[in-house]
Amino acid sequence: MSEQQPPAKPWSGRFNAPTDAFVEAFTASVGFDRRLYRQDIAGSIAHATMLARCGILSEAERDLIVAGLERIRDRIEAGDFAWSVTLEDVHMNIESALTGDIGEAGKKLHTGRSRNDQVATDIRLWLRDEIDAIAAELRRLQRALLNLAEREAETVMPGFTHLQTAQPITFGHHMMAWFEMLDRDHGRMADCRRRLNRMPLGAAALAGTTFPIDRAYTAELLGFDAPMENSLDAVSDRDFAIEFTSAAALVMMHLSRMSEELVIWSSAQFGFIELADAFCTGSSIMPQKKNPDVPELVRGKSGRVFGHLMALLTLMKAQPLAYNKDNQEDKEPLFDTVDSLRGSLKIFADMVPAITCRPDMMRTAALKGFATATDLADYLVRKGTPFRDAHEVVGKAVAYCIDQEKDLADLTLEELRRFSEAIDTEVFEVLTLEGSVAARNHLGGTAPGQVRAAIARARQRVDD
Q: Give contact residues for ligand ARG (rule: CB under 6 A).
A: 29, 33, 89, 115-116, 119, 323, 325, 327-328
Q: Given the complex with ligand ARG, which of 33 and 336 has the nearer CB atom?
A: 33
User: Residue 232: CB partners within 8 Å, gap ≥ 6?
Assistant: 203, 206, 207, 321, 322
Strand partners, 421: none
Q: Given the complex with ligand ARG, which of 92 and 433 has the nearer CB atom?
A: 92
Q: Given the complex with ligand ARG, which of 91 and 188 has the nearer CB atom?
A: 91
What torsion, rounded to 10 degrees, do the Cα atoms 79, 81, 83, 89 define?
A: -100
Q: Given the complex with ligand ARG, which of 146 and 334 has the nearer CB atom?
A: 334
Instruction: Report the nearest approach of ligand ARG to the CB of residue 214 (Å).
Output: 24
Is 133 exposed, middle or buried, given 0-12, 13-18 or 19+ CB atoms closer than 10 A?
Answer: middle
Q: Given the complex with ligand ARG, which of 29 and 96 has the nearer CB atom?
A: 29
Kindly give the pairing relationship between strand 273-274 and strand 356-357. Answer: antiparallel
Kindly give the pairing relationship between strand 226-227 and strand 198-199. Answer: parallel
Instruction: Report the nearest approach of ligand ARG to the CB of residue 88 (Å).
Output: 6
Q: Which of 93, 119, 118 has the alpha carbon at shortest distance from 106?
A: 93
CA 405 to chain centre: 47
3-state secondary structure of 89: coil
Instruction: Report the nearest approach of ligand ARG to the CB of residue 200 (Å).
Output: 12
Instruction: Report the nearest approach of ligand ARG to the CB of residue 118 (Å).
Output: 7
The H or E element spanning position 258 is: helix 239-265
Is 231 exposed, middle or buried, given 0-12, 13-18 or 19+ CB atoms closer than 10 A?
Answer: buried
Instruction: Report the nearest approach of ligand ARG to the CB of residue 28 (Å).
Output: 8
Helix pair 37-53, 90-102: axis angle to 10 deg: 60
Count how many Cα atoms sit within 13 Å of the Cα of residue 54 in the half-sphere of its side chain: 18
User: Of 2, 162, 284, 442, which one is the catalytic site residue?
Assistant: 162
Q: What is the DSSP letter of 8?
A: P
Q: Given the complex with ligand ARG, which of 29 and 99 has the nearer CB atom?
A: 29
Q: Given the complex with ligand ARG, which of 116 and 155 has the nearer CB atom?
A: 116
CA 267 to chain centre: 27
Q: Is 326 within 8 Å of 315 (Cβ atoms)? A: yes
Angle at 110 between CA 20 and CA 43, to 5 degrees: 105
Q: Given the complex with ligand ARG, which of 93 and 446 has the nearer CB atom?
A: 93
Instruction: Report the nearest approach of ligand ARG to the CB of residue 327 (Å).
Output: 5
Instruction: Report the nearest approach of ligand ARG to the CB of residue 329 (Å).
Output: 8
Q: Given the complex with ligand ARG, which of 78 and 318 has the nearer CB atom?
A: 318
Q: What is the DSSP letter of 226?
A: E
Does 2 qualify as catalytic in the annotation? no
Cα dihedral across residues 444, 447, 453, 458: positive or negative = positive
The H or E element spanning position 398 is: helix 387-404
DSSP per position, 342-387: HHHHHHHHHHGGGPEE-HHHHHHHHHTTTTTHHHHHHHHHHTT--H
Does 420 qualify as catalytic in the annotation? no
Q: Report how far apart, in Å, the C-alpha atoms of 330 and of each of 4, 40, 120, 192, 327 are.
A: 34, 16, 10, 17, 5
Instruction: Report the nearest approach of ligand ARG to the CB of residue 319 (Å).
Output: 12
Instruction: Report the nearest approach of ligand ARG to the CB of residue 335 (Å).
Output: 12
Q: Which residues are identified as catalytic?
A: 162, 283
